[in-house]
Structure 1
Amino acid sequence: MRPGTQMQTIVGLDPTVADALRSRLAEVADRAVLAIIDEVPSYAGALTGRMGEVIRNAVQLALGGFLTLATRQGAEAPRAPAIEGAYQLGRGEARSGRTVEALLAAYRVGARTSWRDMADAAVEAGIDAGQLARFAELVFAYIDELSAASVAGHTDELESSGRIRQRNLERLARALLGDAPPDVVTAAAERAEWEPPGALTAVVLPESQVSHALTALDPHTLQPTDDVPGLPEGHASLLVPGTGSATARRALLRALQGTDAVVGPSTPWLEAAASHRRTLRCAALGLEGLVDSDDHLAALVLSADPEARADLRARVLAPLADLRPSTAEKLTDTLRSWLLHHGRRDAVAEELFVHAQTVRYRVGQLREVYGDRLDDPAFVLEATLALA
Structure 2
Amino acid sequence: MSHATRRASELALDETTVTALRAALKTTADEIVQAIIDEVPPYANALSGRMGGTIRRAVRTTLGHYLDLASGNATGGDAGDAAYELGRGEVRDGRSMDALLSAYRVGARVAWRCLAAGAVPAGLPAAEVAKFAELTFAYIDELSAASAAGHADELAAQGRAHERHLEHLARDLLADATSDVLRASAQRAGWQPPASLTAVLLPAAQARPAYRTLAPNTLVLDDLPDALGVLLVPDADRSRLLRQLHNRSAVVGPARPWTRASASYARAVRARSVSAEIRDTEDHLPELILSADVDALADLRARALAPLQTLPAATARRLEETLRAWLLHQGRRNEIAAALFVHPQTVRYRMSQLRELFPELTSPHRVLELTLAVGLRVGGRVPVHDRVRA
TM-score range, shorter chain: 0.7 to 0.9
In the alignment, which residue of structure 1 is the partner of 2:256? 267
| 1:276 Cα deviation from its structure 2 partner | 0.9
Pairing partner for 1:376 from 357, 363, 368: 363
Q: Partners of 1:105 and 1:259 in 2: how far apart?
A: 47
Q: What secondary structure, in the 3-state scheme, does the structure 2 residue paired with 1:127 have?
A: coil
Does residue 161 of the first structure (1) align with residue 158 of the second (2)?
yes
| 1:261 Cα deviation from its structure 2 partner | 1.8
Pairing partner for 2:340 from 352, 367, 386: 352
1:279-336 CA-to-partner distances (Å, cap 9, x unmatched) read 11122233348x2222221221122111111111111211111112111101100111
Q: Partners of 1:298 and 1:210 in 2: how far apart?
A: 28
| 1:274 Cα deviation from its structure 2 partner | 1.0
Q: Partners of 1:34 and 1:264 in 2: how far apart?
A: 58
Amino acid at match of 1:8: R
Tell me the TM-score normalized by structure 1.
0.87
Q: Partners of 1:257 and 1:97 in 2: how far apart?
A: 39
Is the alpha carbon distance of 1:30 and 1:211 closer, same or farther for their aligned partners in structure 2, counting shifts above 3 Å?
A: farther
In the alignment, which residue of structure 2 is the partner of 1:385? 372
Q: Partners of 1:174 and 1:325 in 2: how far apart?
A: 50
| 1:377 Cα deviation from its structure 2 partner | 1.4
Q: Partners of 2:124 and 2:352 in 1: how far apart?
A: 118
Q: Partners of 2:219 and 2:370 in 1: how far apart?
A: 42
Identical residues among aligned pairs (%): 53
| 1:86 Cα deviation from its structure 2 partner | 0.8
Q: Partners of 2:51 and 2:244 in 1: how far apart?
A: 41
Amino acid at match of 1:263: V
Pairing partner for 1:316 from 301, 304, 314: 304
Map residues 318-333 of structure 1 onto 2, 5 A cutoff: 318-333=306-321
Is the alpha carbon distance of 1:63 and 1:268 closer, same or farther for their aligned partners in structure 2, counting shifts above 3 Å?
A: same
Amino acid at match of 1:331: L
Q: Partners of 1:220 and 1:37 in 2: how far apart?
A: 36
| 1:345 Cα deviation from its structure 2 partner | 1.6
Q: What secondary structure, in the 3-state scheme, does the structure 2 residue paired with 1:223 have?
A: strand
In the alignment, which residue of structure 1 is the partner of 2:287? 299
Amino acid at match of 1:196: P
Does residue 85 of the first structure (1) align with residue 67 of the second (2)?
no
| 1:130 Cα deviation from its structure 2 partner | 1.0
Does residue 103 of the first structure (1) align with residue 100 of the second (2)?
yes
In the alignment, which residue of structure 2 is the partner of 1:337? 325
Does residue 235 of the first structure (1) align with residue 224 of the second (2)?
no
Is the Cα contact below 8 Å between 2:4 and 2:139 reproduced in 1? Answer: no
Is the Cα contact below 8 Å between 1:58 and 1:86 reproduced in 2? Answer: no
Q: What secondary structure, in the 3-state scheme, does the structure 2 residue paired with 1:77 have?
A: coil
| 1:338 Cα deviation from its structure 2 partner | 1.1
Q: Partners of 2:365 and 2:2 in 1: how far apart?
A: 83
Aligned residue pairs: how many?
A: 373
Is the Cα contact below 8 Å between 2:200 and 2:265 reproduced in 1? Answer: yes
Amino acid at match of 2:229: A
Is the alpha carbon distance of 1:336 and 1:30 closer, same or farther for their aligned partners in structure 2, counting shifts above 3 Å?
A: farther
Amino acid at match of 2:238: R
In the alignment, which residue of structure 1 is the partner of 2:25? 25
Does residue 62 of the first structure (1) align with residue 62 of the second (2)?
yes
1:21-65 CA-to-partner distances (Å, cap 9, x unmatched) read 323333333333344444445445323366555544443332221
User: Is the deviation greater in 77-86 or in 310-319?
Assistant: 77-86
Does residue 198 of the first structure (1) align with residue 195 of the second (2)?
yes
Amino acid at match of 1:90: G
Is the alpha carbon distance of 1:281 and 1:20 closer, same or farther for their aligned partners in structure 2, counting shifts above 3 Å?
A: same
Q: Partners of 2:45 and 2:37 in 1: how far apart?
A: 7
User: Is the deviation greater in 307-316 or in 280-289?
Assistant: 280-289
Is the alpha carbon distance of 1:54 and 1:166 closer, same or farther for their aligned partners in structure 2, counting shifts above 3 Å?
A: farther
Is the alpha carbon distance of 1:357 and 1:160 closer, same or farther for their aligned partners in structure 2, counting shifts above 3 Å?
A: same
Map residues 99-248 of structure 1 onto 2, 5 A cutoff: 99-224=96-221, 228=224, 231=225, 233-242=226-235, 248=237
Q: Partners of 2:243 and 2:48 in 1: how far apart?
A: 47
Is the alpha carbon distance of 1:53 and 1:172 closer, same or farther for their aligned partners in structure 2, counting shifts above 3 Å?
A: farther
